[in-house]
Chain A
Amino acid sequence: MEQRGVGWGAFISPVVAALVWELLVMAGILHPSYLPPPSQLGPHLVELLAAGELGLHLWVTLYRLGLSFVLAVVPALVLGLSLGMSRNMRLALEPILTSLYAIPKIALLPLIMLIVGVNERALIFTSTLTSFVQMTVSTTGGVLAVDRIVLEAGKNYGATGWRLFRYVLLPSALPDIFTGMRIGLGLTLVLVIAVELTAAQEGLGAFLWTAGQTLSAKNLFSAFVVIGVIGWALTYGLERIGNWLMPWRERSSAEMFL
């Protein structure tokens, strides 16, 4: 599918929306303490970041997200590749993986807190599990989706064992593996924010929740924007990197929203 160009046209409607918002506040129809306009939000966000408090929360959230990804990535790749190549192993682990995949991982938080205690480790463990399950399932799917014809061709050219894996199987499965990492990170971010909303004192979710509870619309929107920026980086930034790393993969703009 053709890649739709992101031209200047893409900026028209967000800019118009922001202007209308700004005008509605200026005209007195919307109250600024209720819905602070962009002209007030911008400076406030800069102020918060400069004061260091929001930066600290941002750092805590990013740390949690990054740590759980790092902890999950190697086991998930090893297990996912093994499952993709061994039918018996796949069948043996199917019940547990299927149910783990289908369950919202936040529902496992109480159980995990019961085992490791109500602490940071419970949060990290739950978010690591979120990344792990998604990456494992995507990696398995990636291996299974490798075109049999490509595999046969590789074999006919004399590739076996490690060479077959490294030069045929892995490049074909890599786009799916990468997509799995991106979606895994996205789901983990949702989980981290959700846990932070009530069960943590630090992190963007906690800051967002406090802002809402103390009726500070400016803080609320500032935190929301910062969380949004992480989400954009994960979705669009990683997609760019993926296209650059794997020029051979087929792209479709709608797949980005999977």
Chain B
Amino acid sequence: MLSRATWLFSREVTIPLATSLVAVGVWEALVHAGFLHAAFFPAPTSIARTLLGLASGTEMWGHAATTLGRLIASFLMALIAGTALGLAMGWWRVVRMAADPLARLLFPIPSIAFFPVVIFYLGLSEWGLLLTAAVTPFLLITVQAAAAVESLERTLLEAGRNYGATGWRLFMRVILPAALPRLFVGYRLAVGVGFIVTVAVEMVAARRGLGGFLWHSWQILRIEEMYVGLLLIAVLGVLVTYGLEAVADRLMPWKLDLLRLKGQQ
């Protein structure tokens, strides 16, 4: 185990930090020297000033909260429906035969293409936006959940049964914990896809939310605000992409053992 001081001065920290600082520094210098046009590439310090200004108001936080809320709402819809259907598909052959081909048929369709179809029926409403963002994550979670149940070790099931677990207990104590790592793979991917679609739909059709904010500030050429919007989307993207992975490691310490057991990763 490395001590904190050694870690701070290791290459893993110093090199990325150095390149980031140099990049920002060079950008700043180029603007001041007049090589980069400040109207297109405002200096990092002036973007930071805009960010601070916006952060003291409520508008920016409102947009961020809207996007986050949409992401969470659509993800929860996909999570609940997808997990339920996927587990049922893994467990009952009939359900799988009915739902699996349809899921495979719909899944490869680019998620954003559902948007015009959904709003054709629902109108340009909040529901239309949420449903569009939920479709592909739902299919992804469904397929992963079905695969998670199907790839369960038979030994694990037998052992559970031999210890007297049946029905609900077998499901909660054996099947779910064993399937959870695989389920989380689906969840992680689904959040990523959901985020892309949410931002895309907001840019196309919404006023509120970070995507709408970004598009609007570009249209009225408030360039600093555009950069702030981009920055916030990037921060949210990093949280969504790498945050859930950390959560998964925390919640399921047995995850690595199981995946290793199955020869994956």
Which chain A residue shows the least CB distance to B119? A212
| CA A224 to CA B110, docked complex, whole Å | 10
For the complex, is A3 an interface residue (Cβ under 8 Å from B)?
A: no
Contacts A1-B151, A13-B101, A104-B199 known; A220 to B120 CB distance under 8 Å? yes
Number of interface residues of B (CB under 8 A): 62
For the complex, is B200 an interface residue (Cβ under 8 Å from A)?
A: yes
Q: Min CB distance, B200 to chain A, in Å? A: 4
Q: Find out whether the CB atom of A257 lies under 8 angstroms from the CB atom of B107.
A: yes
Q: Min CB distance, B194 to chain A, in Å? A: 10
Instruction: Give the interface size bracket for A toward B.
Output: 35 or more
Taking a contact as CB atoms closer than 8 A, the residue among B101, B120, B217 that contacts A10 in the complex is B101
Which chain A residue shows the least CB distance to B10? A91
| CA A142 to CA B50, docked complex, whole Å | 40
| CA A106 to CA B20, docked complex, whole Å | 23
Q: Find out whether the CB atom of B234 lies under 8 angstroms from the CB atom of A190.
A: no
Taking a contact as CB atoms closer than 8 A, the residue among A95, A208, A215 that contacts B113 in the complex is A208
For the complex, is A84 an interface residue (Cβ under 8 Å from B)?
A: no
| CA A228 to CA B196, docked complex, whole Å | 18
Q: Find out whether the CB atom of B226 lies under 8 angstroms from the CB atom of A236.
A: no
For the complex, is B99 an interface residue (Cβ under 8 Å from A)?
A: yes
| Interface positions of A from 211 to 246, Cβ below 8 Å from B | 211-212, 215, 217, 220-221, 224, 227-228, 230-232, 234-236
Contacts A9-B97, A12-B97, A107-B211 known; A212 to B116 CB distance under 8 Å? yes
| CA A232 to CA B103, docked complex, whole Å | 12
Taking a contact as CB atoms closer than 8 A, the residue among A9, A96, A98, A113 that contacts B23 in the complex is A96
Q: Min CB distance, A222 to chain B, in Å? A: 12
Proximity bits, A78-93, B CB within 8 Å = 1, else 0? 0000000001100111
| CA A101 to CA B237, docked complex, whole Å | 9
For the complex, is A14 an interface residue (Cβ under 8 Å from B)?
A: yes
Q: Find out whether the CB atom of B203 lies under 8 angstroms from the CB atom of A95.
A: no
Which chain A residue shows the least CB distance to B265? A145
| CA A13 to CA B97, docked complex, whole Å | 7
For the complex, is B143 an interface residue (Cβ under 8 Å from A)?
A: yes
Which chain A residue shows the least CB distance to B239? A102
For the complex, is B57 an interface residue (Cβ under 8 Å from A)?
A: no
Stretch of A149-157, A163-171, A192-200 on the interface side: A192-200
Known: A111-B230, A114-B226, A235-B108. 4 other contacts (CB 8 A): A91-B11, A95-B23, A107-B234, A110-B217
For this complex, 30 residue pairs linking A to B, each with C-beta atoms less than 8 Å apart, are A1-B151, A12-B101, A13-B97, A17-B102, A94-B16, A102-B234, A102-B237, A102-B240, A102-B241, A102-B242, A103-B233, A106-B203, A107-B211, A107-B229, A107-B233, A110-B215, A187-B196, A190-B196, A190-B200, A197-B116, A198-B204, A208-B116, A227-B113, A231-B108, A231-B109, A234-B108, A235-B108, A252-B147, A257-B189, A258-B189
B residues within 8 Å of A by Cβ? 11-12, 15-16, 18-20, 23, 40, 97-102, 104-105, 107-113, 115-117, 119-120, 140, 143-144, 147, 151, 182, 189, 195-197, 199-200, 203-205, 211, 214-215, 217-218, 223, 226-227, 229-230, 233-234, 237-238, 240-242, 264
